[in-house]
Amino acid sequence: MSLLLNPQKYTAMHQDPKTEQIMTKTIEFFERKGLISIKEDDQASRWYEDFIHFLKQEKVFATLLTPAGYGEADARFDLSRICAYNEVLAFYSLAYQYCYQVTILGLGPIWMGSNENVKHKTASLLNDGAIFAFGLSERAHGADLYANEVKLIPSGDNTYSADGSKYYIGNANEAALVSTFGKFSDTNDYVFFVVEPKHRHYKLVKKISTSGVRPAFVGEYDLINYPITADDIISTGALAWDSSLSTVNIGKFQLGFASIGICTHALYEAIDHAHARTLYGKKVTDFPHIRKICTEAYARTVAMKLYALRSLDYFRSSSDIDRRYLLFNPIQKMKVTTQGMQVIDMLLDAIAAKGFEQDTYFECAIRDIGMIPRLEGTTHVNIALVIKFMENYFFDPVDYPEIAQRNDPADDAYLFLQKTGKLATIKFPDYRKAYDGMESPNVTVFKKQLELFREFLFNAAPDTTQRKNIDYMLALGEMFTLIVYAQLIIENCRIYNISLDLMDFIFNCLVRDFSQYALSQISNHVNSQSQEKYLTEMVQKPILDVACEQNLWSNEVTPLIGSYSANP
């Protein structure tokens, strides 16, 4: 059975009826709506009232996004089903997923805050079908929290006046509440407070037109002497700061699942088009290079999902003792999403002009996939974060209990209790344990590459000048990122019983990617003689196994042909 989502052959992945009901009804909504209608809304940049009505009617957000104890019996903040729903929505259009993701972001500071009245109000609004928004970014500063300019100005009697502007805010038009980040003007302490878009002191400045997610609403809003009382403040000081970072940990984590949904739908559409087309008396899928493209796109998409699901296991199992997710999450946000760009680019080479036709899903995929890893400088920000873990990952292993697969129905309460900072205290078990009993020719080659990288860090570590060169360190971070990406993939190859052919081909891709990064480090940066020696040895050729690729094409890729076709 393929690990990839097929809505028209949807198989229950969760253990409770309510979750399956939501997934099934959502699929029915989009299949009934059809691709033509979805594309018409996209081309007209039409706000999706029908989708919002569906969410309200089925109490989707109330069920999925209300923590246990604040809503009905089936409500819980269960990251497993939250992530699965992201994949389903993006499969049909990233615009729908965007509405969901920014609602998750908007809810984060509320559930993490200390204002119980706002929490109960939020639960009631969710039950009524409300969506939410996250007022963090600003036009001049993006997501730079230190430079935030929105102010709460004391008015006396424990009341305030909010002034300032927020930019690039999803759902800014119809959110019931917008969780807004700012500072007290008198103390400069951080604060999160909620505002209502329908309030006369909230000015919706404009919709920001974007090339993708057109039906969604990305907006700018001004707060002009907006009256704030203690009842509107959800957190202050350290809690407000921590809430901003922890909310991003939860919300931006969803981006990987969105990329997987897009790549999966695009793969179905591309392979069907190629198979139905005849050139020079042959089906396009009979051409060796087209088979190669489709096989690699399939393998990379499965690898994306294997990593995303395994990082989800670590996130759901996290605690103050085990915070390894703080390494795995930024890789989810950066590596899975950039792999999505590579998959779509490869498939576009296979279907060429067809991908640009306005009546295809693929045309949306081309526009949307590149937005995901570039939101607020995601790629560079997250590589810079990942680098901080290199020393402990390679040189200071500790024992941890084995993390099990986590698709069980449970309220993930720790998500709202996350601790920030002290990254140097986060430890990891010996990364080599992940490879025990998992052997294949290209796994062996990759293991050689990662051991060379470890020796590089031990014997030829970047000097002071190189460490201060962010460009040099970011390039090095790409290789480290790929090593961590591979670890979680191979852990999940064991859990999901991935075929030996598929596992080996995934590592064929990883070997090539690692070699390219090593070559880039040689070609674009000044290295010592010792460093260049190690980097040159890291450039390895994968083991090319024609029989393995043929088996993969015949047994796993060919069955995708005709397996999903969008309802027009």
Q: For residue 378, is pLDDT > 60?
A: no
Q: Is residue 1 part of a domain?
A: no
Q: For residue 559, is pLDDT > 70?
A: yes
Residue with tokens 């993969």: 552
Residue 276 and residue 193 in one domain: no
Nearest to 461, CA basis, from 395, 545, 552, 546: 395
Q: Is residue 453 part of a domain?
A: yes
pLDDT at 557: 96
Nearest to 226, CA basis, from 156, 168, 172, 150: 150
pLDDT at 377: 53
pLDDT at 519: 96
Q: Are strands 202-207 and 278-279 parallel, antiparallel or unpaired?
A: unpaired
In the predicted model, what is the mean pLDDT of residues 233-241?
97
Query: Residue 2 in contact with residue 306, Cβ under 8 Å?
Result: no
pLDDT at 90: 97
pLDDT at 380: 64
Residue 345 and residue 487 in one domain: yes
- Tokens (6 digits) for 50: 């029908």
Q: 446-476 pLDDT, tens per residue?
A: 999 999 999 999 999 999 999 888 888 888 9
What are the backbone angles phi and psi of residue 219, rounded to the nearest 5°? -130, 175
Q: Are strands 177-184 and 190-195 parallel, antiparallel or unpaired?
A: antiparallel
**CATH value at residue 138:** 2.40.110.10
Residue 181 and residue 316 in one domain: no
Domain count, the chain: 3
Residue 155 and residue 100 in one domain: no
Q: Is residue 506 part of a domain?
A: yes
**CATH value at residue 31:** 1.10.540.10
Query: Residue 195 in contact with residue 165, Cβ under 8 Å?
Result: no
Q: 99-111 pLDDT, tens per residue?
A: 999 999 999 999 9
* Residue that finishes a domain, picked among 191, 207, 237: 237
Residue 329 and residue 454 in one domain: yes
Angle formed by the axes of helices 361-369 and 337-351, nearest 10°: 140
Residue 359 and residue 385 in one domain: yes
Q: 327-345 pLDDT, tens per residue?
A: 999 999 999 999 999 999 9
Query: Residue 232 in contact with residue 118, Cβ under 8 Å?
Result: yes
In the predicted model, what is the mean pLDDT of residues 174-191?
97
Q: Is residue 523 part of a domain?
A: yes
* pLDDT grade for 381, boundaries at 50, 70 and 90: low
Q: Print the domain residue range for 94.
A: 7-131
Q: Is residue 410 part of a domain?
A: no
Residue 127 and residue 11 in one domain: yes
pLDDT at 212: 87
Q: Is residue 347 part of a domain?
A: yes
Tell me which DSSP letter residue 185 carries: T
Q: For residue 379, is pLDDT > 70?
A: no
Cα 180 to Cα 194: distance, rounded to the nearest angstrom: 6
Residue 334 and residue 201 in one domain: no
Q: Is residue 408 part of a domain?
A: no
Q: Model pTM?
A: 0.96
**CATH value at residue 484:** 1.20.140.10
Q: What is the DSSP string of 224-264?
A: EEEEEEGGGEEEEHHHHHHHHHHHHHHHTTHHHHHHHHHHH
pLDDT at 142: 82
Residue 362 and residue 498 in one domain: yes
Q: Is residue 409 part of a domain?
A: no
Residue 288 and residue 203 in one domain: no
Residue 442 and residue 541 in one domain: yes
Amino acid at site 255: L
Least confident of 14-18, 21-25, 237-241, 268-272: 14-18
In the predicted model, what is the mean pLDDT of residues 413-442?
93
Q: For residue 376, is pLDDT > 70?
A: no
- Tokens (6 digits) for 53: 């009505």
* Residue that finishes a domain, picked among 131, 155, 177: 131
Query: Residue 123 in contact with residue 70, Cβ under 8 Å?
Result: yes
* pLDDT grade for 410, boundaries at 50, 70 and 90: very high
Q: What is the mean pLDDT of the chain?
A: 94
Widest pairwise Cα distance in the chain: 82
Residue 159 and residue 64 in one domain: no
Query: Residue 120 in contact with residue 110, Cβ under 8 Å?
Result: no
* Residue that finishes a domain, picked among 131, 149, 172: 131
Q: 468-506 pLDDT, tens per residue?
A: 888 888 889 899 999 999 999 999 999 999 999 999 999
